[in-house]
A and B are shown apart, each in its own frame.
Chain A
Amino acid sequence: MPSFTLVVPSTPDEAVAALRIGSAEGSAALAGGTDLLADLEDGRVTAERVVSLRRLPWRTLDWTGTVLTIGGTLPLRRLELDPEVRAQFPALFHAVRAVGGPALRHRATLGGNLGRAAPASDLVPVLLALDAEVDLLGPAGERSLPVDRFILGARRTALAPGELIRSVRIAEPRPSCYLWQRVRPSNDISQIAVAVAYSARLEAWRVAVGGVLPRPLLVPEAAEALGGRSPTDTDLVRAADAVARRAPIVADKRASEEHRREVARTLTLRAVRAVERGGRS
């Protein structure tokens, strides 16, 4: 007897309806499945019905002016190999490369990563730094939320029962960088990670930290300390101090709190300088 029933709707509306059958906890949406299937097998997630999103027309990557819209079920590998994404959003490229390996990224999706809301997600800190918006489709229609209001905690999101991530939007290209510390470059979890991005339109930085609990977070004090496009050494040290001191960094089996705070400081320094140089550290 299979542990769940697989449902494969043909349209977004059918998918929303399929998720609403039975109890809210009884259904799970399957995008690439690289995170969900492991959790289903281990019993960390239970679902009677798994709703596959593979037939939905959301494997898209669109530019409208400066706005990039990434379809919720676009495989991460497509995002990674797109030269324009790499040029306009370097941090997004760095973060996608940090997820698993190529064989995993051929199936894993941005919508899946956001919807599963792992506290150690590599993509969430970058989407915070890039001020991305999440477009949702559900029983009550469409709505959009900034990533900061979409991710609520460890494995907790603002998704209502039956709601799906249709796309993720980033409004403007931003010089940016994402740096992480971990043991293996592929298929490992970042102990600590820092994403920084500069908006020329707003003349402001955004700084986010990952590998913290309960979820990746913006560090506004660090962004304020950086000020304008070319921070002085003093500003930069103040920003790095803000990340190292204020981020909710804790110890676990992967690394001590002290180590993580020290690495967070260094990653912040390197990431900002990399953005200024227009490349990676």
Chain B
Amino acid sequence: MSAQRVHLTLNGSPVDLPTVPDDERLLDSLRWRAGLKGTKEGCRTGGCGACTVLVDGESTLSCLTLTHEVEGSAVTTIEGVADDPVGRRVRDAFRRAGAVQCGYCSPGFVMALTGLLKERGTSVAMDDLLEELSSNLCRCTGYVSIVRAVRLAREANP
């Protein structure tokens, strides 16, 4: 294998990505092959969470994932998050809380929180949620409104 086809379900639709190099990251395939620029590159070393997407419903760092490794999986990016009821609730909570400053970290935060609420339910303790979200960084340090959005998303009825 050196540059083969990868089949994915991307935001609900089947997608064939032709000639994906073996060493290509999911982050780069999403941005430069699928044209989905909502997923952001931050540190590219797994330290900031800006590139978080869902792979089969689970939050995943797209910068540390080879595209070939998720062959056949369902990938959800910020562009498709509102098709999911939990994702829509999280997106709306960020909007209502004004939890967006420069916006660069926002897609990663929305995907990470969506993944957490889908995985652990809304009964998960607020402290626990915040500890888990601390792997996402906001360089504007707009955390107060992000925490408000987390609270809104957790309390809103599904």
Q: Which of A6, A7, A101, A106 has the most CB of B within 10 A?
A: A101
Mask of A167-200 contacts with B, CB within 8 angstroms, 1/0 = 0000000000000000011110000000000000
Name the A residues within 8 Å of B66 (CB-CB). Answer: 6, 30, 33, 37, 52
B2, B112, B135: which contacts A2 (Cβ < 8 A)? B2
Q: Are A104 and B1 in contact (CB under 8 A)?
A: no
Name the B residues within 8 Å of A4 (CB-CB). Answer: 22-23
Q: Are A103 and B1 in contact (CB under 8 A)?
A: no
Closest to A37 in B: B64
Closest to B51 in A: A103
| Size range of the chain B interface in the assembly | 35 or more
Q: Which of A2, A52, A184, A185 has the most CB of B within 10 A?
A: A2
Closest to A75 in B: B58
| Shortest beta-carbon distance from A278 to chain B in Å | 20
Q: Are B116 and A102 in contact (CB under 8 A)?
A: yes
Q: Are A38 and B45 in contact (CB under 8 A)?
A: yes
Q: Are B64 and A33 in contact (CB under 8 A)?
A: yes
Q: Are A3 and B23 in contact (CB under 8 A)?
A: yes
| Shortest beta-carbon distance from B81 to chain A in Å | 15
B61 beta carbon closer than 8 Å to chain A = yes
Bound CA–CA A2/B28 (angstroms): 14
Name the B residues within 8 Å of A203 (CB-CB). Answer: none
Q: Are A38 and B46 in contact (CB under 8 A)?
A: yes
B65 beta carbon closer than 8 Å to chain A = yes
B60 beta carbon closer than 8 Å to chain A = yes
B38 beta carbon closer than 8 Å to chain A = no
Chain B contact residues, majority secondary structure: mixed
B69 beta carbon closer than 8 Å to chain A = yes
| Shortest beta-carbon distance from A69 to chain B in Å | 23
Within 8 A of A (CB), among B35-51: 44-49
Bound CA–CA A101/B90 (angstroms): 19
Name the B residues within 8 Å of A256 (CB-CB). Answer: none
Q: Are A184 and B3 in contact (CB under 8 A)?
A: no
Q: Are A33 and B69 in contact (CB under 8 A)?
A: yes
Q: Are A107 and B134 in contact (CB under 8 A)?
A: no
Q: Are B61 and A103 in contact (CB under 8 A)?
A: yes
B136 beta carbon closer than 8 Å to chain A = yes
Q: Are A107 and B22 in contact (CB under 8 A)?
A: no
A41 beta carbon closer than 8 Å to chain B = yes
B91 beta carbon closer than 8 Å to chain A = no
Q: Are B58 and A5 in contact (CB under 8 A)?
A: no
Q: Are A34 and B68 in contact (CB under 8 A)?
A: no
| Shortest beta-carbon distance from A82 to chain B in Å | 13
B77 beta carbon closer than 8 Å to chain A = no
Q: Are A37 and B25 in contact (CB under 8 A)?
A: yes
A residues apposed to B, CB below 8 Å: 2-8, 30, 33-34, 37-38, 40-41, 50, 52, 54, 77, 81, 100-104, 106-107, 184-187
Q: Can you give 18 A-B contacts (C-beta < 8 A)?
A: A2-B21, A3-B23, A4-B23, A5-B1, A5-B2, A8-B1, A8-B68, A33-B69, A54-B69, A81-B120, A100-B135, A101-B133, A101-B135, A102-B112, A102-B132, A103-B60, A106-B55, A185-B131
User: Can you add 12 more A-B contacts, CB < 8 Å, to A81-B120, A100-B135, A185-B134?
Assistant: A2-B3, A8-B68, A33-B65, A33-B69, A34-B64, A37-B66, A38-B64, A52-B68, A101-B135, A107-B60, A186-B131, A186-B135
